Amino acid sequence: MCAEQKVPSKHYNEMVGRFPEFMSMVQKLGKTAHDAGPLEGKTKELVQLAAAASLQSEGAVHSHTRRAVEAGASQEEVYHALLLLVSTIGFPRVSAAVSWARDILNE
C-alpha cells in the first residue's frame, strides 16, 4: 500500500501541519523505499510489522497489522511473522506484539 493510501493518525496529521517540508521528505523517503525492490505488498507489510514488534511500538503494530491484512495477509501469516521473532526479541515482546495484532484482527 502506498503512502497516499494510508490513513494517517492524528499525531501524523499534526506533524504534517507543523513540519510540512520535513514530512514531505519523510513521505518521499518512505515511497522510495517502498518502490525500491521486488517484494510484494503483503511481504512488505509483514516485514514492517516485524520491525514494529521489535521496537515495541503498539501503534505501529496496529497499523502494519491492518495494512498487512489489507494487502492480503491471513491472520495465520500475521501471527507467524510475529512468532518468528521469538529467538530474536524474546517471548515477552512477541507476546505483547501478538496481543496488539489481535486488537486489529478481532475487529
pLDDT at 2: 40
Are 29 and 69 within one domain?
no
26 and 46, same domain (yes or no): no
For residue 69 the three cell numbers come to 491484512
Q: Indicate if 29 and 45 belong to the same structural domain.
A: no
Q: Please tell me whether residues 67 and 92 are part of one structural domain.
A: yes
pTM exceeds 0.85, yes or no: no
Grid cell listed for 78: 500475521
Looking at residue 60, which CATH number applies to its domain?
1.20.1290.10
Q: Are 97 and 82 in contact (CB under 8 A)?
A: yes
pLDDT, position 11: 85
Instruction: Collect all residues with Cβ–Cβ distance below 8 Å to 35 and sequence separation of at least 6.
Output: none
pLDDT digits (tens, 9 = 90+) for 12-66: 899 999 999 999 999 999 899 999 999 999 999 999 999 999 999 999 999 999 9
Is residue 81 located within the same domain as residue 101?
yes
Q: What is the pLDDT, as a whole number, of residue 6?
A: 58
pLDDT digits (tens, 9 = 90+) for 80-95: 999 999 999 999 999 9
Displacement of CA 22 from its chain's centroid (Å) = 21
Q: Which residues contact 68 (CB under 8 A, 6 or more apart)?
A: 42, 45, 46, 49, 77, 78, 81
